[in-house]
Structure formats: structure tokens, C-alpha cells
Structure 1
Amino acid sequence: MITEYAVALALCSLAVATWSFVQAARNRPPARPLLIGLAAIEVLLLVQVVISVVLLVGGQRPGSMVTFLAYLVGSLLVLPIGTAWALAERSRSSTVVLGVACVTVPVLILRMSEVWGGAGA
């Protein structure tokens, strides 16, 4: 795993999470700019998948392949699931759901990085 990319991805996700929580504090439902931010994070997550596949094909291996792949797939699913939930009821609380989904991404990235390095496998 490329640590610098993982850190940048986590920071971007935390920035969108902060934006979401600020919008929730302002009592705003999810708006198009926030959804575009979520889509950008999802694209960055897809790039992470491509990076991981290239490294795996190149012969590098995580400490536990199954655990790594579970976190990788989970990181791809958390934002679409959170977005679907938030769009089902566009309210202040749905904006908080998007913030929580964005905070979940860095946690998953951290765990993927730890498993890649062999820790916690």
C-alpha cells in the first residue's frame, strides 16, 4: 500500500466529514456540493483499489489477504450506503449520517494499512 496516498485519502475524507458536520450544525440537509464531495472521495477510493490490485499483481502481499480485501470492499461500500440512507430522508440527521460515513473511511484505510504491513492480521 502506498502510505502517502492513504494519508491523503484519509485527510480528504475527514475534510468532507467536517464539511458535513458543519452543514448539520447549520441545520442543512445534504446538498449537491456535499454529494459531489462524497463522489470525489469514492473516486479516490476506487483509485486505492487500483493501486492495491497493481501491488498485488506485482507480488506484494498484505499480512492477511482476506482481512485486507474485506476492508478494501468495505471502504468502497460505506459511502454509497450512507448516501442512500441520507437521500431516503433529506434532513439534518441525514447530513450527520454522511459525516459519520466519511469518518469511517479513514478508520478503514488505517486498518488496511496496518493489515498490509502485517500488523493486526
Structure 2
Amino acid sequence: MIDVLSPTLTWVAVGAAVWALVLVLADRPLPVDRPDGKAYLGLLALIEVGLLAQAVLGFIKLATADHDVPALSYGGYLLGSLLILPVALYWSLAERTRWGTAVLVVGALVIPVMIVRLGQVWTHG
């Protein structure tokens, strides 16, 4: 995958998961009307922009690959990773309990798993 972007996205997503876990443990929903909630939404937007850049660069690398890569699997992981956080955020905002915030924890932790899987599909085909 992309040498700098993938580890950066992984660690930022883990940080977002820890932030959401603190909210779950405090039994608070995501406070979208407060500065800390807006900062968290900004962090999720930053991750999403990084995932979009990864998807664009990943499709370019796929088109110019010099080895066999299962294009359907690889493209599915690239596009699937773009959908995880928006769905988790929508769910969290629809369910204003600690369990809605827990969905953000899971969504943020799925991102590193998707990135690792992208690397595996790219390397091993």
C-alpha cells in the first residue's frame, strides 16, 4: 500500500477509537454541540479524507500493478473502508446512548483491520 499513509491512518483511527471509548466509559453520547465533539468530528473527517486519498492512490496502483492482484477484493476493501466511518457516525448520531458511541469505537477499530487486509491482498494476492 502507501508507505506513509497506511500507518498514519491506522494510528489516527486507533486514537479516534480510544477517544470514543473514553466517551463510552463516561456514559456520554458524542457531544456534537461542544468543542470537543466538533474536534472529534474533525478527526473523523480527517481520517475519511485520508481514506479517500488511499482509495484514489490504491486504484492508480492497481491499474499500474506489475504483479497479480485480485482487483475485485482489493477494490472492495478500498471502497468498503470509505463506508465504515460514515455509517458508524450516522448510527452513533441516531442512537444517542453510550451504545451509539460504542459503534464509533468499533467503526474506528475496523479501519486498521481493513488497512492490514489491503496490505495482505496487495502482497499475497
Q: Could you state the TM-score of these two structures normalised by the residue count of structure 2?
A: 0.86
Q: Which residue does 2:46 correspond to in 1?
A: 40
Does the 8 Å contact 1:42/1:79 carry over to 2? yes
Give the share of equivalent positions with the same residue, in percent: 36
Structure 2: distance between partners of 1:48 and 1:33: 22
Structure 1: distance between partners of 2:22 and 2:68: 37
SS in 1 for 2:44: helix
| Matching of residue 103 in structure 1 with residue 109 in structure 2 | yes
Change (3 A) 1:62 1:20: farther
Q: Which residue does 1:10 correspond to in 2?
A: 10
Structure 2: distance between partners of 1:29 and 1:4: 33
Unaligned ranges ≥5, structure 1: none
| Matching of residue 55 in structure 1 with residue 61 in structure 2 | yes
Q: RMSD in angstroms over aligned alpha carbons?
A: 1.5
Does the 8 Å contact 1:24/1:95 carry over to 2? yes
SS in 2 for 1:3: coil
Cα deviations across residues 56-90 of structure 1 (Å, max 9, x unaligned)?
A: 34x11562111101111110001111111111111
Q: Could you state the TM-score of these two structures normalised by the residue count of structure 1?
A: 0.89
Q: Which residue does 2:30 correspond to in 1?
A: 30
- The alignment of Structure 1 onto Structure 2 pairs a total of residues equal to 118
Moved over 3 A (4+): none
Structure 1: distance between partners of 2:56 and 2:79: 12
Aligned-pair CA distance for 1:47: 1.0
Change (3 A) 1:63 1:80: same
